[in-house]
Amino acid sequence: MTRRILIVDDDHEMVRTLRDIFHLRGWDTGEAYSGEEAIDAQQTQGFDRVIMDIKMPGIGGLAARQALHRQFPQLPIILMTAQRPADLDAGDAPVIAKPIDLPALFTMLDS
């Protein structure tokens, strides 16, 4: 069964490159460009995983992650940031820094 991941970032090229890489790795992908869109997409399409940028217009990644977590407690969500991950208070959610160490990301997703 093909795994499905929702890619959320306000940077369209970031979303596009990640989408293509995930496709190469055999994932189905969904795309969202804001926190609101991400919640909407998850509610309507029900992805297995979410990878979401933190700094976005609107409610932002951290608030969207909290909302999703309340509705889908089992849904694994990975946050991305251009800031230093250590400086963020993201609760127990894993946070990865941009540029993304992709081999490490796939290892994380496989586990």
Query: Residues in the site for other proteins, rule: CB under 8 A?
Result: 11, 13-14, 17-18, 20-21, 24, 55, 80, 82-84, 86-87, 97-100, 102
Least Å distance, CB 70 to other proteins, is: 28
Which residue number, 82 or 108, has a Cβ lying nearer to other proteins?
82
Which residue number, 21 or 75, has a Cβ lying nearer to other proteins?
21
Q: Which long-range contacts (CB under 8 A, 24 or more apart) does 24-28 make?
A: 25/106, 26/2, 27/2, 27/3, 28/2, 28/3, 28/4
Which residue number, 18 or 68, has a Cβ lying nearer to other proteins?
18
Least Å distance, CB 9 to other proteins, is: 9
* Alpha-carbon gap, residue 90 to 34, rounded angstroms: 18
* Alpha-carbon gap, residue 71 to 83, rounded angstroms: 27
Least Å distance, CB 69 to other proteins, is: 24
**What residue spans of the chain are helical by DSSP H?**
12-24, 35-45, 60-71, 102-110
